[in-house]
């Protein structure tokens, strides 16, 4: 009987010539920690999981470093054993294609051409070691920008940036996109780069991109490791293309009144529209009661909680003030509470005029909550920027 992962033979009590087994063990450990194995690919998938316990020195699973060579005409798969261990792979193939490295039936990782990475396996799936040091990657990206308006057709195309990596919605596997993909919101989804990105909603014909509508952006993946991207009005990717069962949410985009994508800038979970959005988010015209508990819709993505920065212009006809509050806050029922509740101090406007209010937390229905003690309050608000709290900062 040998060790679980490298099958290094045990020395038995009654064994003669123990030095033979000991020397074999040393050679295997040397290869497993320092040895290099060349995987010469013939433009086809490669099975490195065979003969896990073979004694031959050519058994690739007994090595630590793996150099992948050969000429590829498409992305290929290297199937590795589900043994628990760490390895180092370098994609030195020609043709510019990536190689997916995964145990049988798992998603694994996609190693871009020209890159060398440390890869770990927990006996079920593989991951890039630097992103899995303490726990699985959780809805985050190696790239600080996940999506952007495409320069050639900013009105209809979104670039899903190279280097995106996110945990899928079930928190089971990592989905990574080593090369950028451009997807078109005004065309029905099709696989690949510079192709349609709008998920088929089952209508006949497919519902076209709509005016003034939020669309959520997703990484999607098949269990065989195929990765793509696209858009859906559903925050849970209800219309994900056939064959794709895994998805990760990576942001949202908004169309204008002409069904064109509004220009924006993104920095991690911070989104800023180019061109302000101004709206009368509420108007109160009453003489009593004075302490009004109000809610207002603002221009932020549906289905996620956001932290909003508002540029506010407040018009009041009598003395008074407004204060914003958390959706779950039951302590702030009037503006007078602000003076005695310190956590609300930066969420208030004490007089008429212009001000910037930071840190307003929404609910998942694009709604913020506030109170006023003025008899007449008109609040013109501009969404200066928002943090999408479904994405890490």
| pLDDT, averaged across the chain | 79
**Do 183 and 209 fall into the same domain?**
yes
**Do 111 and 152 fall into the same domain?**
no
- Residue 23 has a pLDDT of 60
Mean pLDDT in residue range 66-70: 91
- Residue 56 has a pLDDT of 39
Q: Which domain holds residue 348?
A: 278-388
Are the beta carbons of 310 and 383 closer than 8 angstroms? yes
Q: In this structure, what is the dihedral angle of CA atoms 392, 145, 246, 225, given to the nearest 10 degrees?
A: -130
Per DSSP, the three-state class of 141 is coil
- Residue 383 has a pLDDT of 87
Are the beta carbons of 117 and 231 closer than 8 angstroms? no
Between 58 and 309, residue with greater pLDDT: 309
Residue 8 lies in a domain: no
Which domain-ending residue is among 131, 162, 178? 131
Least confident of 116-125, 201-210, 225-234: 116-125
Mean pLDDT in residue range 167-181: 84
The CATH number covering residue 195 comes to 2.80.20
For the ranges 53-67, 80-94, 237-251, 338-352, the one whose mean pLDDT is highest: 237-251
**pLDDT tens by residue, 320-360:** 677 788 888 777 666 666 554 434 444 556 556 787 888 88
- For the chain, give the percent of residues with pLDDT over 90: 30
- Residue 340 has a pLDDT of 44
d(CA 175, CA 196): 20
Residue 2 lies in a domain: no
**Do 282 and 259 fall into the same domain?**
no
Residue 271 lies in a domain: no
Which domain-ending residue is among 131, 162, 179? 131
Mean pLDDT in residue range 70-81: 88
Mean pLDDT in residue range 286-301: 70
- Residue 37 has a pLDDT of 82
- Residue 275 has a pLDDT of 74
- Residue 237 has a pLDDT of 96
Are the beta carbons of 1 and 10 closer than 8 angstroms? yes
- Residue 111 has a pLDDT of 84
- Residue 88 has a pLDDT of 86
- Residue 232 has a pLDDT of 97
- For the chain, give the percent of residues with pLDDT over 70: 72
- Residue 57 has a pLDDT of 39
**pLDDT tens by residue, 105-143:** 777 888 888 888 888 888 788 877 654 433 344 455 545
Residue 141 lies in a domain: no
Least confident of 77-81, 107-111, 225-229: 107-111
Q: Which residue has the tokens 């407040």?
A: 314
- Residue 85 has a pLDDT of 74
pLDDT above 90: residue 236: yes
Least confident of 77-91, 225-239, 272-286: 272-286
Q: Which residue has the tokens 């065989």?
A: 224
Which domain-ending residue is among 75, 100, 131? 131
**172 Cβ contact partners less than 8 Å away, ≥ 6 residues apart:** 246
The CATH number covering residue 41 comes to 2.60.120
Residue 65 lies in a domain: yes
Per DSSP, the three-state class of 29 is helix
């Amino acid at each position: 009987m040998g060790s679980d992962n490298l099958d290094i033979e045990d020395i038995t009590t009654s064994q003669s010539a123990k030095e033979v087994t000991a020397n074999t063990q040393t050679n295997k450990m040397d290869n497993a920690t320092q040895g290099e194995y060349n995987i010469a690919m013939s433009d086809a998938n490669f099975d490195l999981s065979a003969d896990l316990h073979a004694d031959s020195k050519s058994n690739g699973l007994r090595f630590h470093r793996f150099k992948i060579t050969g000429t590829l005409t498409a992305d290929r798969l290297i199937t590795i054993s589900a043994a628990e261990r760490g390895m180092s792979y370098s994609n030195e193939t020609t043709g510019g294609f990536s190689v997916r490295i995964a145990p049988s039936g798992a998603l694994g990782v996609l190693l871009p051409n020209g890159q060398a990475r440390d890869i770990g396996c927990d006996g079920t799936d593989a991951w890039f070691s630097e992103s899995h040091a303490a726990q699985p990657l959780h809805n985050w990206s190696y790239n600080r920008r996940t999506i952007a308006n495409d320069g050639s057709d900013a009105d209809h195309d979104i670039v899903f940036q190279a280097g995106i990596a996110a945990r899928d919605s079930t928190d089971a596997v990592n989905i990574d996109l080593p090369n950028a993909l451009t997807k078109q919101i005004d065309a029905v989804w099709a696989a690949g780069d510079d192709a349609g990105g709008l998920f088929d909603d089952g209508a006949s014909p497919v519902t076209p991109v709509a005016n003034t509508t939020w669309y959520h952006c997703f990484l999607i993946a098949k269990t065989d490791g195929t990765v793509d991207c696209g858009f859906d009005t559903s925050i849970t990717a209800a219309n994900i293309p056939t064959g794709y069962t895994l998805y990760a949410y990576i942001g949202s985009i908004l169309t204008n009144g002409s069904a064109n994508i509004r220009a924006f800038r993104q920095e991690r979970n911070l989104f800023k529209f180019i061109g302000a959005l101004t709206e009368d988010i509420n108007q109160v015209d009453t003489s009593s009661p004075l302490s009004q508990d109000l809610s207002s819709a603002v221009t932020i993505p549906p289905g996620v909680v956001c932290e909003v920065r508002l540029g506010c212009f407040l018009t009041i006809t009598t003395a008074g003030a407004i204060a914003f509050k958390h959706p779950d806050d039951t302590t702030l029922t009037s503006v007078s509470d602000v003076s005695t509740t310190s956590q609300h101090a930066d969420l208030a406007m004490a007089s008429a005029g212009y001000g910037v209010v930071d840190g307003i937390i929404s609910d998942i229905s694009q709604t913020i909550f506030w109170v006023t003690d003025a008899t007449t309050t008109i609040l013109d608000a501009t969404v200066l920027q928002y943090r999408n709290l479904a994405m890490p900062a």
